[in-house]
Structure 1
Amino acid sequence: MQPVAIIPFDVQVTPDTLSAVTSAIQIQLSRDFVPWGRPAVCGWFSSLEQMPRGCWPVLLKRDAKGVAGFHAPGSESDQRPPFAIVQYSDDSAWTVAASHEILEMLVDPRGDFFVKGPNPADPSEAVEFLVEVCDPCQGEAFCYQVDHNLWPCVSDFCLPGYYRIGASGAPYTIRRSVQTPFSTAFGGLITYRDSAHDWWQLSGGRIARANRDSILGNQSATAWNFRGRVDRCDKLYQGPPPVKSTSRYSAIRKLAGRSQKNIARALHAELERLEEAQKLSQHNRAKSSSKGS
């Protein structure tokens, strides 16, 4: 069972709030997420240094580069596990984003999971869809509470049948927000690449070409978490450095015997890279603004 943990990084969140959110996500994982066969336990810690080895952190930050959240693969070389960053807000939006990133990270921690399906532009042609289980139904209207009390909201997500994995047939999301495989609900999107390795996105019934460099950068197609690439389109922070392709869980097994302090250090270093990119982005914007005036 894979442990995941929500950790406030540069924000203050009360223990009661963290307990309520992680309890709601745990119910979602134990009750609703079972069809994916990714058992997990969700908790929280006050800092990275308190996080046990083998745990995948979800870090709450004041600034997640203009997106609700993103996740990135781990690295064996610097002992960094897969992790996610979620932008914290005073409203309930961050709880949905945390659920979103946890579910997607569990299904595809490396961000290189594709399935074949019909091209939305030409169903006679097969394309490769990126498996990001919350993106097609990520519209705000489809989040839900795990019971009928005042629990924090969690994200809707696609079931395996949406990607025609295993048993097919409806429902295709836990909230029944999508009516057919490889389609999107209002506010959702799905990313795919065609036989020519051109990238496209389907959203709201419209198909738009996606710039390859904005999604993949200049690195190998197996080196990055593609959701992070899509979310950070045209941003200066390019995600963690590329890592050698390995089996999905080999890095996690190797982490078990390594220093907890080193793991925290590696994650802190990656967050410092994000902060440097943010500062550079702000400097460039200010410079551009001064030139315009």
Structure 2
Amino acid sequence: MEYRKIALLDKTGKISYELLEQIANAIQIQLQRDVAPKWDVTGEVRAFRTFAEIPTGFWTVTVVEETENKFNGTHWYDSTTNIPYAQARLTDWVTQNYSQNHLTKVLSEEIIEMCIDPYGQRIVKGKDFEDSTKEVEFLVELADPIANPSIGYYINDIFVTNFIYPSYFNVTHIQGTKYDHLGLLKKPLDLFDRSYQIFRRAGQWFKAFMVQGKIVVRKGTEGVPLQNEESIKLWQILIGVLMVGFLLVFARRVIKLFGSKNTKRQLSK
């Protein structure tokens, strides 16, 4: 079983060290008690006041005002040192319990995902979302398929993320199988609304989103599809039809008007 050492640090100056310790302790419990038995990775999560205090061998996770990719959270590695790291964006959570839960959930997501796949290389092969006869490569990201901000659970009053089990990538559904820690997913490769799964098809990265009960596939560089995307398309089609109808009616009136003028001119001659 692999062992990770994670250092949790606040760079905003807005989180007390006591709270940072509570968050670190809760995520360490999640990693050791809940994640390790399923994914064969464990470790320790410790809070620190400054970078200088962090011992060698720890991967740093920082709370920042804004992440480098503008997402709520991110994890990657430094290409020069090959050391993994993660960031979580601080939201205006000082007086809002939900926003604090959002931050701790994001920290939980990034830490356990980084522990499982620090270099973005853990791949599982399976069937394409759009064509079951073709094979694609799924990136193992523990929280993406259930990324809804409200889905998680508490450890010592700290809100942490739900996460998928290895069975999530099973080829077929087996009755009684649990696909995520809370048992909310009903079958392999299931997705919650507004959640997603990253996969590679023919060397290109894609994301499969669940939008109002339907799978929508987008290229990796494209944004999240809108919940009312289908309605918008229908309205666009309807507006297009109305515009064409208006132009036809307008054209007929113009032709009729010029035709009547030509008739009057001929009669006057």
So what's the TM-score if we normalise by structure 1? Answer: 0.66
1:1-293 alignment runs, 5 A limit: 1-34=3-36, 35-64=38-67, 65-75=69-79, 77=80, 79=81, 81-89=83-91, 90=93, 91-92=99-100, 93-146=102-155, 151-164=157-170, 170-194=177-201, 196-204=202-210, 205-211=214-220, 214=221
- Whole-angstrom distance in 2 between the partners of 1:14 and 1:80: 30
Q: Which has the higher contact order (CA 8 A, sep 6+)?
A: 1
TM-superposition CA deviations, 1:76-112 (whole Å, max 9, x none) = x4x3620001001223211000000001101100012
The answer (yes or no) to whether the contact 1:142–1:177 under 8 Å persists in 2 is no
The one-letter code matched in structure 1 to 2:4 is Q
TM-superposition CA deviations, 1:225-247 (whole Å, max 9, x none) = xxxxx99xxxxxxxxxxxxxxxx
Counterpart of 1:122 in 2: which secondary structure?
coil
- How far off its partner does 1:175 sit? 1.3
- Whole-angstrom distance in 2 between the partners of 1:143 and 1:133: 13
- Whole-angstrom distance in 2 between the partners of 1:163 and 1:109: 19
The one-letter code matched in structure 1 to 2:71 is V
- Whole-angstrom distance in 2 between the partners of 1:70 and 1:42: 17
- Whole-angstrom distance in 1 between the partners of 2:190 and 2:146: 9
TM-superposition CA deviations, 1:176-214 (whole Å, max 9, x none) = 2221112212231001122x3343221113222305xx3
Counterpart of 2:150 in 1: which secondary structure?
helix
The answer (yes or no) to whether the contact 1:11–1:61 under 8 Å persists in 2 is no
- How far off its partner does 1:121 sit? 1.0
Unpaired runs of 5+ residues, structure 1, are 216-229, 232-293
The one-letter code matched in structure 2 to 1:11 is G
- How far off its partner does 1:33 sit? 0.5
- How far off its partner does 1:29 sit? 1.0
* RMSD, aligned α-carbons: 2.2
TM-superposition CA deviations, 1:40-92 (whole Å, max 9, x none) = 101111121211111011111011243110011244x4x36200010012232
The answer (yes or no) to whether the contact 1:11–1:60 under 8 Å persists in 2 is no
Partner of 1:263: none
Counterpart of 2:218 in 1: which secondary structure?
strand
- Whole-angstrom distance in 1 between the partners of 2:78 and 2:122: 15
The one-letter code matched in structure 2 to 1:130 is L
Q: Which has the larger radius of gyration?
A: 2
The one-letter code matched in structure 1 to 2:190 is S
TM-superposition CA deviations, 1:151-173 (whole Å, max 9, x none) = 110011111111239xx872111
Unpaired runs of 5+ residues, structure 2, are 94-98, 225-269
The one-letter code matched in structure 2 to 1:177 is L
The one-letter code matched in structure 1 to 2:205 is W
Number of equivalences: 207
Q: Percent identity?
A: 26
- How far off its partner does 1:141 sit? 2.5
